[in-house]
């Protein structure tokens, strides 16, 4: 109904890597890759996404980018909103967003999002949107070096993963349509309403560089706005940034 082709895998290294290979082999986007198990699930900046079999959702949607870089503005934040909506429809009420695109419940990470681009840098034409959701996982198969949770831990019952995949796809389709039609600006307020750290003092790190300030929200492009101690507003964007609350 959504018009996405579907690839269902048992075990893959990473659904993002798989989708990138399919694109290189000429597969037509949009398509979805789902796996039961990832042996090299990846997070941002080369980190590992712990991906045990048969408990969670490992989901990658490959899309054509229609109007160049415009189509990417705020895209990862929009995906965060779509995942949040799917979690709420599944009964997780207290979930919130951490800039740029992690989903937390009470300080514990429940889902992560990783966007990767495909194609010649001068002429990028596809993006793969990777989403990992902890669904029925209650003890981690690997080491997760920060607080985490799962939907099951939150709602106290097993979750039907196929049902959740459908809810997630519907939600993504809906949010991507708004983003394509109206741009990120139309979703900015909704994102800010769900911002876990709105008004809190934060530290932003980029390698060894650190900036401290109060998180005042995001701009029309989805960049982070910090009010620094010298009362100047500064905006930040880019995939290599990491935000911590003080």
Q: Which stretch binds ligand BTN (CB under 6 A): 34-42, 189-197, 202-210, 235-243?
A: 34-42
Q: Is 200 a catalytic residue?
A: no
Of ligand ATP, ligand BTN, none, which one does residue 118 interact with (CB within 5 to 8 Å by kind)? none
Q: Is 94 a catalytic residue?
A: no
Pair 215, 198: CB distance under 8 Å: yes
Of the residues 65, 82, 105, 114, which one makes contact with ligand BTN according to CB under 6 A? 114
Peptide bond into 197 cis (omega under 30): no
Q: Which stretch binds ligand BTN (CB under 6 A): 43-51, 86-94, 205-213, 222-230?
A: 43-51
66 C-beta neighbours (distance < 10 Å), count: 9
- The arrangement of strands across the sheet holding 201-206 comes to 233-236, 224-228, 209-218, 201-206, 242-245
Write down how long the chain is: 246
Of ligand BTN, ligand ATP, none, which one does residue 15 interact with (CB within 5 to 8 Å by kind)? ligand BTN
As a whole number of angstroms, the distance between CA 150 and CA 110 comes to 5
Instruction: Name residue, tokens 């740029």.
Output: 100
**Is residue 70 marked as binding?**
no
Judged by CB under 6 A, the chain residues 18 through 47 that form the site for ligand ATP are 43-45, 47
Residue 145: partners with Cβ closer than 8 Å, 6 or more residues away: none
Catalytic positions, written as ranges:
44, 109, 244
Residues that bind ligand ATP (CB under 6 A): 43-45, 47-50, 102, 109, 112, 134, 144-146, 148, 242-243
């Amino acid at each position: 109904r959504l018009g996405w082709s579907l690839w269902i895998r048992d075990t893959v290294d990473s659904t993002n890597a798989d989708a990138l290979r399919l694109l290189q082999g000429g597969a037509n986007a949009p398509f979805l890759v789902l796996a039961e198990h990832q042996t090299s699930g990846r997070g941002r900046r080369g980190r590992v996404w712990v991906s045990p079999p048969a408990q969670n959702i490992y989901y990658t949607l490959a899309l054509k980018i229609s109007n160049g870089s415009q189509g990417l503005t705020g895209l990862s934040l929009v995906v965060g909103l779509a995942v949040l909506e799917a979690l709420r429809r599944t009964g997780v009420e207290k979930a919130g967003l951490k800039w740029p695109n992690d989903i937390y419940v009470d300080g514990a990470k429940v889902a992560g999002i990783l966007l990767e681009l495909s194609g010649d840098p001068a002429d990028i034409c596809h993006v793969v949107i990777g989403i990992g959701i902890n669904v029925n996982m209650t003890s981690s198969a690997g080491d997760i070096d920060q607080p985490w949770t799962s939907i099951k831990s939150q709602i106290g019952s097993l979750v039907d993963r196929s049902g959740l995949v459908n809810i997630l796809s519907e939600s993504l389709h809906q949010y991507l349509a708004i983003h394509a039609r109206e741009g990120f600006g139309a979703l900015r307020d909704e994102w800010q309403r769900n911002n876990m750290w709105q008004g809190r003092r934060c530290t932003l790190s980029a390698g060894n560089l650190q900036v401290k300030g109060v998180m005042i929200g995001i701009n029309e492009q989805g960049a982070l706005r910090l009010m620094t101690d010298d009362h100047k507003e500064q905006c930040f964007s880019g995939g290599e940034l990491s935000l911590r609350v003080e």
